[in-house]
Amino acid sequence: MLLLLLFLSLFTIGNCRNIFEHNQQVFASNMTSTEPLKSSSQGAFEDRFATEYGQRWHSTLLPALKAEPRHAALYNRYAPLEDFHRVVGRPDSLERVRFPSATGDIQADNLLCFTRNQDYESNAATIPAAERASNGINTHSTVDAASVLAVHILQVVPGDNVLDLCAGQGGNSITLAQPIWPSLYPDSTTPPMMGAKKGTLHSNNLDSEYNLAHYLPASVVGTAQLKFSHLDGTKGARQLYLGPGGYDKVLVDAPSSDERRVVQAQAKATPGQNSRELRGWDFSSSKPMAEVQSKLLMTALKAARIGGRVVYSTRSISKEENDGVVEEALALIEKEAKKGDLLWTAEVENLDGEVERRLEADWAEKTAKGWAVLPDHAGGGKWGPLYFSVLTKKSST
């Protein structure tokens, strides 16, 4: 437990996924790789989630978590489409991933994500690495489509001021950038906005600024429209470029326990031994993790303008890190608002009925405060795990 507390204190300094993964590796490297399997290790892990998910855990969810994750290619709209197809595959070899949208939703075609067509036999499970397009911009990024779904639900539109609070290695920032500057697409017939709100993307704790610059037009790289920071997201919104209330949309893809990684590592471990990922897992780890996540969510809500939208997401299957964090944040906001310390409140947003129907049919199951995309979902997409909740900031006066 002492090692766990030390790990979490180091983690809080950085608080994004790349720091989290690094510290997990350091923690595990201090354990001998030949440590024999403790009866409590794997058993405790499986018992923990069998309690939460019941019979489903062993019958469908655990086997789905053991399977290799499914990948998709997110087309980078700032690269020519013909270059994307040259690298990823001809149009008839690809199948578009359809995200749930209401009829007439202007966000419906913002994000173009593709998988291999089921009838395409050549290397069907592989998405090739991105290449430079003819205009020097990378053609695509390889993603779990569930992470793209969370950005889709955020409903970014041209000109929005957007914050990626926990940008990690930049994958979500690439996705968030797609709908902000459509006039800069190579095939755009719309002139750049003149004198209008141009939109911004601020990526916090990004691992590599240079990497993201490979995906975006030169006209925004190095300008005030695209900013990078390496801030502790638990410390509040005043340190951010636009400060409290400065953002239209905020994504907080919080660092989380990522139990699928633990399951996969243990499935590949030498029989009779614990993987380092399982040795780094603790039955009580979700509680201190949830404390960090709650602070990040509060920062995100403070950063959003009145009427703005926040999407909170994790890769955890633990209710404590998902609905539990949202419930705790809402309770704290209500308490501070009653004392007069806040002039705003927040609520979980009910999505459009058509969107919810499509979500339930193809993607996710509804939870008390959000949605859980799990790889054993009846829709057969095999995406996730990914939890997300949509919150709207409202005035309390």
CA dist 174 to 73, 126, 216, Å? Answer: 12, 20, 8
Tokens at 309, concatenated? 């939208």
Are 349 and 391 spatial neighbours (Cβ–Cβ below 8 Å)?
Answer: yes
- Location of structure tokens 């429209």: 225
* pLDDT interval class at 16 (50, 70, 90): low
Q: Is the pLDDT of residue 256 over 50?
A: yes
How many angstroms separate the CA atoms of 13 and 164, rounded? 17
State the burial class of residue 125 (Cβ atoms within 10 Å of its Cβ: 0-12, 13-18, 19+): exposed
- pLDDT, tens digit, 9 for 90 and up, residues 47-71: 999 999 999 999 999 999 999 999 9
| Domains recognised in the chain with CATH numbers | 146-258+284-395 (3.40.50.150)
CA dist 80 to 75, 86, 187, 241, 296, Å? Answer: 10, 10, 7, 32, 36
State the burial class of residue 11 (Cβ atoms within 10 Å of its Cβ: 0-12, 13-18, 19+): buried
Give pTM, 2 decimals: 0.88
Amino acid letter, 320: E
List Cβ neighbours of 178 (8 Å cut-off, separation of 6 or more). 74, 76, 77, 110, 111
Under DSSP, is residue 173 helix (H, G, I), strand (E, B) or coil?
helix
- Location of structure tokens 């290695």: 169
Percent of the chain with pLDDT over 70: 85
pLDDT value at position 26? 35
